[in-house]
Amino acid sequence: EVQLVDSGGGLAQPGGSLRLSCVGSGFTFGDFPMNWVRQVPGKGLEWLSYISSSSQTIYYADSVEGRFTISRDNGKNSVYLQMNGLRDEDTAIYYCARGYSFLSYWGQGTLVTVSS
């Protein structure tokens, strides 16, 4: 069974940093591209970042470019999102998701709250 488990969320101050992690199981992690998507509670979905299976190709949404960094460690079946310069508007549930043109599997999400 394919599983993605997100972790690392919590409370951060404006301007602060957090590092999110997502561990995959039930599939060959290194064969698949991965993404991060967020959702403000009660609102819609926003794609944030993509990393190819080999880490050679990386994309970011304009809203996080220059502040967030995606990376992966295929040996640990993990993808990460380093979030720096956090803002109030980054408060959301963050999901990792597997896929390229469509997102076939999603983690359960981890809540990030940015507040002083």
Partner 1 sequence: EIVLTQSPDTLSLSPGERATLSCRASQTINNNYLAWYQQKPGQAPRLLIYGTSSRANGIPERFSGSGSGTDFTLTISRLEPEDFAMYYCQRYGGSPLWTFGQGTKVEIK
Residues of this chain that bind partner 1 (CB under 8 A): 35, 37, 44-47, 50, 59, 61-62, 95, 100-109
Instruction: Point out which residues pair with 25 in neighbouring strands.
Output: 3
CA distance 56 to 88: 31
User: Between 2 and 11, whose beta carbon lies closer to partner 1?
Assistant: 2
Per-residue DSSP letters for 26-87? SS-GGGS-EEEEEE-TTS-EEEEEEE-TTS--EEE-TTTTTTEEEEEEGGGTEEEEEE-S--
| Smallest separation, CB 4 to partner 1 (Å) | 9
| Smallest separation, CB 75 to partner 1 (Å) | 25
User: Between 22 and 83, whose beta carbon lies closer to partner 1?
Assistant: 22
Instruction: Point out which residues pair with 96 in neighbouring strands.
Output: 36
| Smallest separation, CB 66 to partner 1 (Å) | 15
User: Between 35 and 78, whose beta carbon lies closer to partner 1?
Assistant: 35
